[in-house]
Amino acid sequence: MSGTFVGMPAFPKAAHEAVGNTTLRANLRHATHTIRDKRAKAVAELDDWALLREAGKQIKDHTLRHLDTYLVQLEETVTAAGGTVHWAADADEANRIVTHLVKETGECEVVKVKSMATQEIGLNEALEEAGIAAYETDLAELIVQLGHDRPSHILVPAIHRNRGEIRDIFTKEMGEWGRPAPEGLTDTPAELAEAARLHLREKFLRAKVGISGANFMVAETGTLVVVESEGNGRMCLTLPETLISVVGIEKIIPTWRDLEVFLQTLPRSSTAERMNPYTSMWTGTTDTDGPRAFHLVLIDNGRTDTLADEVGRQALRCIRCSACLNVCPVYERAGGHAYGSVYPGPIGAILSPQLRGTASEIDASLPYASSLCGACYEVCPVAIDIPEVLVHLRERVVQGGPATRQGNRVVLKPAKGHAAERAAMRAAGWAFVHPGALRAGQRMASRTRRFHPRTLPGPGRAWSATRDLPQVPAEPFRDWWQRTHGKKESGK
């Protein structure tokens, strides 16, 4: 994924620093509680929410099972409609393709629709290196870009900023990028929105190239769909002469009928709206309206490896609504930056380690960035069992590194670190398949319980400093069972 977050410290360190920032915590608490309460009311209005949720899950699972078929179908329908499809195995290849396409137009600036996929591959940085300026047009992304900041939320990337901070950023930075902020700008929402509108308008009218992602791609017609709240996306999708859409391969759905489900669940889960304010759909190009050239860049970037994992693949169902972030007690306190990825919160904790592997410190720590309370699963509109995947990924971190394919087999590479934990788990695994040794060990532990330490030595000391070690019983359970029930356990 993107180099933007390379070198981030492990989650516990980054989160420790973030929780000390009281302004950040207040901003996050206010924003997440407001959105989560509104979402709960919007969802409660629908009697068939559970059925919609199940339908969304099944559509996504079906599509992922037949991804190869639907991707080929999509390529055919997009091409038939006048578009060109490009395939990118990873971030570097995707960036090379997009940079080349922009250079071919002779332009040195582009306007962008809010897009997680382009952030994931670090497209803005790649374009900048090639001398191409990429202007974010979503209000929150604009705040992040002008503030030389990183996004901290999927839907509201500047959720960590309050109105006063936004006014200061606009006043200081807008002039460096184009039309300056109006004199005497206050922090009222209407004035801030007007300043952004005026600043962006000249860019929309000048730009010859637009870059977007997509929320969905309909295989049967080759139609791409972007849902957004501001209308800036629609300007980028319709005004420029060339449109380049960079989309993850998992965003495909088979038919228009399937879209019906997600256009009900996504707005309610993300912005608590019954219907999305701006839903833009386009199919290839037309001679009379919209872009004259359309390129679709389909990115893998770790998705087929994720698909190979039977438990972890459910993360690819995600429709990026961010409901799981808004209910997560860990996200609410630590904020999005601590996750070291464009995908923060619970979904980031299961998606980033799968897309990037668990070799780095930050990625190996992400599966532990959760209390496993399960609130994320409860609200997820496509029923991703995030706690299940977190536990699965913890196992991967402890037992071995990232899963990779060798022929038809998924194999685990040895992980860095956690050697003691891995050794302890292997010893436990051995004991559980050797009942005689387990019984002898339990009896020995019961007999020597008076001499057991109250704290763990070495690196385990930090763990036991805030916890009571479990007491070993005076009599092992198996012996108690035999004594009180008078028979041996079966098979022993």
- The contact set with ligand SF4 (CB under 6 A) reads 269, 318-324, 347, 379-382, 384
Shorter beta-carbon distance to ligand SF4: residue 173 or 250:
250
User: Closer CB to ligand SF4, residue 107 or residue 385?
Assistant: 385
CA 484 – CA 477 distance, rounded (Å):
10
Least gap, CB of 259 to ligand SF4 (angstroms): 16
313 CB-near residues (< 8 Å, 6+ apart): 64, 306, 307
CB 215 to ligand SF4: min, Å = 11
Q: State in angstroms the smallest separation of the CB of 197 from ligand SF4.
A: 28
CB closer to ligand SF4, 223 vs 269: 269
Closest approach, Cβ 384 to ligand SF4, in A, equals 5
Sheet holding 278-283, edge to edge: 252-253, 216-218, 223-228, 278-283
C-alpha gyration radius of the chain: 26
Cβ closer to ligand SF4: 342 or 384? 384
284/381 with CB nearer ligand SF4: 381
User: Nearest approach, Cβ of 324 to ligand SF4 (angstroms)?
Assistant: 3
Shortest separation between residue 9's beta carbon and ligand SF4, angstroms: 24
Nearer to ligand SF4, 216 or 282 (CB): 216
DSSP secondary structure string, 162-173?
A: -HHHHHHHHHHH
Phi then psi for 161, rounded to 5 degrees?
-105, 140
Nearer to ligand SF4 among residue 73 and residue 215 (C-beta): 215
The angle formed by the CA atoms of residues 169, 173 and 177, to the nearest 5 degrees, is: 140
Work out how close the CB of 154 gets to ligand SF4 at its nearest, in angstroms, rounded to a whole number. 6
Contacts of 464 (CB under 8 A, 6+ apart): 454, 455, 456
Rounded Cα gap, residues 39 and 47, in angstroms: 15
Residues in contact with 30: Cβ distance below 8 Å, sequence separation at least 6, in sequence order? none
Indicate the residue type of 467.
R
**How does strand 209-212 pair with strand 242-248?**
parallel
